[in-house]
């Protein structure tokens, strides 16, 4: 290559370097390439471990080892030395060599926290970054940091080391603890399809094509790692044998559109009834539909039958309510016993292809498949009964069930004789965690000596498992049981809500239960659809979800007049009315968790974000929250809260 052409190339690299240097300096930062020796303090590294010759992703090389080497480069590894310097001549010669032959000599680097710092070969890295190279071979020495469980990045890195030991993959990084473990399960599944070499095939057939499409749609500009987005994709769409632009480009684009509108700082949530006249907020475009006098077609998807599940029965009463209310203006359909896993997507897809206008997915465990269907079939409006993030494609609705559970806690605290109350907890999601905590606060309000023992079924809506857990709690000394399961038609067992177990006779006395009035919410939605006043989700493309409570009747308390005395009834009604008038807040501090860590100061209250992402149990609860990652993921976007991307 002619010298004048090489000078021209170097000038382009120099321009990129100076621009980066100036940008850093204007922000009050050092413009030079970062150095490992300036980052490490004495005692940070506990040992060095040679990894041998490793294929290193170019984008993971972020600095050099010592300050002396750093002053020739800007922080983006582009040169900042004059084009007549000896450095520039060597850089140009190396560039020419790469174009003619290709850089093949390995570099020498340290790896620290899955980032690479060059000991020998800085100019080689600079040239490869300039030409947008992808990998280079290098002799790697890993610097292992001192273990610090309190440091999130440190914890993630220790997970990464276990992941790397099995896969030899170093090009993926996550912002959340547990993600490497989850991805490892997908890789193990992939390896079953083709043997040990499928680690490399997984990268070349799945991750790298995903990353290219993701970058094409500016996904790299989002505040999360590409690994985070990739794992989210796998949770929603499942593990393919390969990802291609032809088959998967639209899916990835739609997922990115969801990621862009998720606000990690907060959700847009409606806590009051939907008022069509007061709130000109519309659910989706259905004006043309009603203009043609066509019936609105509505489907309800149930995990179980209304004959075997109280939860399903409550939603079925809601469906029957709107049928009776709107008669021939709507046409409803129910689909029962739909598996509560990723295969539910096939049911949602079928309903969309049948031309359903609205689909209500009535279990929180349907979130991932419902979201997948909602993104694929925008002409059908999907609703999912869950309390979590707001989505662009999927509308979420739930009730503030922790409100009546606080009242149930008051009843249980007053009725116990052993001061031990058993709590049968279903699936470990935040809606259940907040209910346990509210229940415990209610019990403590009337009985400071009470202890609540919580055990989990790890199933959403499983009466048989609930009864097994209740028996264990009885064996642990509980005389009062709180069971989240709802009664089914004709149920005379009394093993739901709050009840006493009489040790001598094994008979049960039922006191109270929380109830759901889903018909109230479904009526609000359908009425606004028929009016044409709920046209698009939110305003300015802001997604919205609904979280109603005692104040509009979607949740309530039903208690036994015979088994609860008049003074207790008056107390319950008084507290209930205070909640409805916003005069009493359940989660007002001071509140401590099980480890006596202050979660809410005196006078402060936990807000919506705190409650729907509650992952801790209150002081006074005996038990622990199971690891949700070992179960079917309820929310594939859960990592978007509390971001700590690297």
As annotated, the residues of the chain forming the CATH 3.40.50.2300 domain(s) are 269-399, 402-518+551-634
98-132: per-residue pLDDT in tens? 999 999 999 999 999 999 999 999 999 999 999 99
pLDDT band at 272 (very low <50, low <70, confident <90, very high): low
Mean pLDDT of 510-514: 91
Whole-angstrom Cα distance, residue 255 to residue 543? 14
Determine the pLDDT at residue 97: 94
- Residue appearing with tokens 């503030």: 400
Please provide the average confidence, as pLDDT, over all residues in the chain.
87
> pLDDT confidence of 281, banded at 50, 70, 90?
very low
Q: Which of 380, 405, 403, 404 is nearest to 393 (CA)?
A: 380
Per-residue pLDDT reduced to its tens digit, 141-152: 999 999 998 899
Q: Which residue has the higher pLDDT, 605 or 388?
A: 605
Residue percentage of the chain with pLDDT more than 70: 88
CATH number assigned to the domain covering 402-518+551-634: 3.40.50.2300
CATH C-level class of 269-399: alpha beta
Q: What pLDDT, on a 0 to 100 scale, did the predictor assign at position 580?
A: 92
Residue with tokens 């809410």: 600
- CA distances from residue 297 to 318, 371, 442 in whole angstroms, order as listed: 15, 20, 42
SS3 95: helix
Angle between helices 3-26 and 122-130 (to 10 degrees): 90
Q: State how far the Cα of 292 lies from the Cα of 289, in Å rounded to an integer.
A: 6
Task: Check whether 538 has a pLDDT greater than 70.
Answer: no
Assigned token pair, 250: 């639209």
* Region of poorest pLDDT, from 27-41, 449-463, 541-555: 541-555
pLDDT band at 640 (very low <50, low <70, confident <90, very high): very low
Query: Which has the minimum average pLDDT: 390-399, 432-441, 624-633?
Result: 624-633
Give the pLDDT mean for 518-528. Answer: 92
- What mean pLDDT do residues 504-527 have? 89
- For position 274, what pLDDT does the model report? 63
> 169: pLDDT confidence band, cut at 50, 70 and 90?
very high
Tell me the mean pLDDT in the region 58-70.
Answer: 92
N residues, the chain = 646
CB 422 within 8 A of CB 470: yes
- Residue 641 pLDDT more than 60? no
pLDDT tens, residue by residue, 562-604: 998 899 999 999 999 999 998 999 999 899 999 999 999 998 9
Segment among 510-514, 552-556, 595-599, 625-629 with least mean pLDDT: 625-629
Q: What is the pLDDT of residue 637?
A: 42
Compute the average pLDDT of residues 413-435. Answer: 91
pLDDT beyond 90 at 459: no
Which CATH number applies to 1-146: 3.40.50.2300, 3.90.1530.10, 3.40.50.12140, 3.40.50.970? 3.90.1530.10
Sheet holding 381-385, edge to edge: 269-270, 545-548, 394-399, 381-385, 358-361, 296-301, 330-335
What DSSP string describes 505-566? T--EEEEEEEEE-HHHHHHHHHHHHHHT---SSSSTT---EEEE-GGGTSEEEEE-TTTS-H
State residue 478's pLDDT score: 93
pLDDT (0 to 100) of residue 269 = 64
Residue 66 has pLDDT above 70, yes or no: yes
CATH 3.90.1530.10 residue window(s) in the chain: 1-146
Average pLDDT over residues 65-81: 93
Lowest mean pLDDT segment, chosen from 67-81, 167-181, 289-303 = 289-303
């Amino acid at each position: 290559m002619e010298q004048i052409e090489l000078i021209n190339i170097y000038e382009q690299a120099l321009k990129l370097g100076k621009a980066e240097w100036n940008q850093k300096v204007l922000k009050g930062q050092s413009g030079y390439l970062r150095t490992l020796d300036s980052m490490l303090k004495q005692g940070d590294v506990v040992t060095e471990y040679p990894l041998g010759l490793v294929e290193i992703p170019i984008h993971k090389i972020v600095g050099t080892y010592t300050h002396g080497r750093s002053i020739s480069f800007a922080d983006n590894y582009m040169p900042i030395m004059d084009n007549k310097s000896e450095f520039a001549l060597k850089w140009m010669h190396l560039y020419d060599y790469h174009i003619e032959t290709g850089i093949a000599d390995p570099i020498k680097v340290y790896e620290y926290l899955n980032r690479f710092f060059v000991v020998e070969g800085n100019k080689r890295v600079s040239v490869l970054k300039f030409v947008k190279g992808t990998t280079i071979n290098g002799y790697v020495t890993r610097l292992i940091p001192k273990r610090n469980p309190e440091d999130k990045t440190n914890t993630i890195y220790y997970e990464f080391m276990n992941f790397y030991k099995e896969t030899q993959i170093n090009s993926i990084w996550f912002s959340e603890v547990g993600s490497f473990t989850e991805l490892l399960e997908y890789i193990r599944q992939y390896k079953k399809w083709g043997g040990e070499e499928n680690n490399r095939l997984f990268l070349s057939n799945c991750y790298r094509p995903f990353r290219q499409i993701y970058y094409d749609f500016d996904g790299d500009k989002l505040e999360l790692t590409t690994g985070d987005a990739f794992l989210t994709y796998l949770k929603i769409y499942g593990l393919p044998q390969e990802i291609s632009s032809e088959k998967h480009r639209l899916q990835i684009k739609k997922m990115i559109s969801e990621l862009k509108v998720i606000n990690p700082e907060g959700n847009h949530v409606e806590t009051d009834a939907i008022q069509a006249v007061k709130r000109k907020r519309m659910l989706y475009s259905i004006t043309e539909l009603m203009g043609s006098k066509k019936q609105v077609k509505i489907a309800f998807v149930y995990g179980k039958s209304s004959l075997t599940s109280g939860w399903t029965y409550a939603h079925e009463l809601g469906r029957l309510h709107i049928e009776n209310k709107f008669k021939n203006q709507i046409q409803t359909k129910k689909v029962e016993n739909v598996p509560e896993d990723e295969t539910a997507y096939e049911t949602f897809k079928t309903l969309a292809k049948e031309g359903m206008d609205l689909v209500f997915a009535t279990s929180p465990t349907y979130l991932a498949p419902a979201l997948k269907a909602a993104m694929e079939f925008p002409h059908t409006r999907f609703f999912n009964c869950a309390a979590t993030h707001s989505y662009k494609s999927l509308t979420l609705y739930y009730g503030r069930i922790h409100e009546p559970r606080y009242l149930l806690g008051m009843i249980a605290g007053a009725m116990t004789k052993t001061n031990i109350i058993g709590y049968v907890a279903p699936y470990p999601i935040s809606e259940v965690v907040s209910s346990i905590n509210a229940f415990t606060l209610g019990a403590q309000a009337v009985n400071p000596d009470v202890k609540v023992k919580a055990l989990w079924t790890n199933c959403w809506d499983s009466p048989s498992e609930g009864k097994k857990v209740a028996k264990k709690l009885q064996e642990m000394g509980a005389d009062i049981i709180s069971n989240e399961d709802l009664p089914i038609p004709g149920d005379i067992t009394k093993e739901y809500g709050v009840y006493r177990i009489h040790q001598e006779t094994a008979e049960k006395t039922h006191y109270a239960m929380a109830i759901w009035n889903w018909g109230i919410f479904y009526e609000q939605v359908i009425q606004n659809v028929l009016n044409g006043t709920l046209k698009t989700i939110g305003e300015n493309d802001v997604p919205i979800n609904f979280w109603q409570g005692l104040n509009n009747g979607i949740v309530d308390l039903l208690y036994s007049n015979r088994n609860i005395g008049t003074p207790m009834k008056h107390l319950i009604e008084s507290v209930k009315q205070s909640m409805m008038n916003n005069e009493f807040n359940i989660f007002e501090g001071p509140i401590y968790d099980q480890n006596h860590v202050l979660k809410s100061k005196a006078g402060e209250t936990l807000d919506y974000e705190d409650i729907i992402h509650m992952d801790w149990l209150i002081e006074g609860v005996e038990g622990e929250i199971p690891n949700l990652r070992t179960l079917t993921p309820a929310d594939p976007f859960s990592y978007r809260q509390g971001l700590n991307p690297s």
